[in-house]
Amino acid sequence: MKEEGLTDRKRIWEVDLLRALAVLGMLYFHWFYLLDFWNLKNTALFVDGWEIFGNTIRNTFFMVVGAGLVLSYQHSQLKEQSYLSYGIRTMKKGFILLVIGGLITFWSTFFAPDQVIRFGVLSFIGTGMILLWPLVPKWYALAAVTGLLLWIESQWGEVWNQESLWSYILGFYPRYWPSLDYFPLEPWLASISGGALIASLIFEKAERRYPFFNLPKFLQPVIWVGQKALWIYLLHIPVFAALIWALDKIGVY
């Protein structure tokens, strides 16, 4: 997803690049995930190297979401917009993601009834944006929240034993509940707040605090991927499914 408010100014290309790399990694991971899901190619995606690769992709993308919150706020300041205006705009964007996430949940009840998506990545990102935007102006508040979230995960992650929707969303559900896509607030919210913390320390007035070289031309197509991340996320599964079906029919798998 694009940083809101950066369309009419020079973009910070390294943020787009990190997002693009995360999206490309997601595409690679999901291709093998679908092959494994349909028993066309067995791949242990949640152990060893694959697990490290997957978690790196997820954390990178969520940290870029946090950086986007900070850059959007800093740009709103340059436009002399109010703090409340920034908050309303961010919450509106978060609610849009929640609605799209809800539609995906509805879709999954028909196509994967045994693994319904109850709180997937878009629902998580939308909720994270709504929860964290008030902290964006204060880097020390972000630092405190990031540390608190990590501490809660290390101390309380195994002791919550209530079977409820809230415990599922928070990430403390006491038993395994199969889902095609599940990103609870704990531990993943720490990645968004951590990304926002880093961005608040290295960016000021929506510009770098440090000198950096210009975007190499050969990276421009990759940057485009990062700028179209939401559309790529929404379309890649049906496109991959169609491709895999066709390849299976001609005997590739």
pLDDT for residue 140 is more than 50 = yes
* Residue 173 phi, psi (nearest 5): -65, 135
Mean predicted confidence (pLDDT) in 180-185: 92
pLDDT digits (tens, 9 = 90+) for 84-98: 999 999 999 999 999
Mean predicted confidence (pLDDT) in 90-111: 95
pLDDT digits (tens, 9 = 90+) for 68-77: 999 999 999 9
Give the pairing of strands 207-208 and 203-204: antiparallel
Contact 44, 50 (CB under 8 A): yes
Contact 231, 100 (CB under 8 A): no
Task: Kindly state the percentage of the chain with pLDDT values over 70.
Answer: 91
pLDDT at residue 157, rounded to an integer: 54
Mean predicted confidence (pLDDT) in 158-169: 70
CB contact set of 211 (below 8 Å; sequence gap of 6+): none
Mean predicted confidence (pLDDT) in 156-176: 69
pLDDT at residue 232, rounded to an integer: 95
pLDDT at residue 162, rounded to an integer: 64
Considering only CA atoms, which of 86, 76, 173 is closest in space to residue 129?
A: 86
- The CB-side HSE value for 149 (13 A sphere, CA atoms) comes to 21
pTM for this one?
A: 0.89
pLDDT at residue 219, rounded to an integer: 85
pLDDT at residue 183, rounded to an integer: 94
Contact 71, 199 (CB under 8 A): yes
pLDDT for residue 7 is more than 70 = no
Average pLDDT, the chain: 87
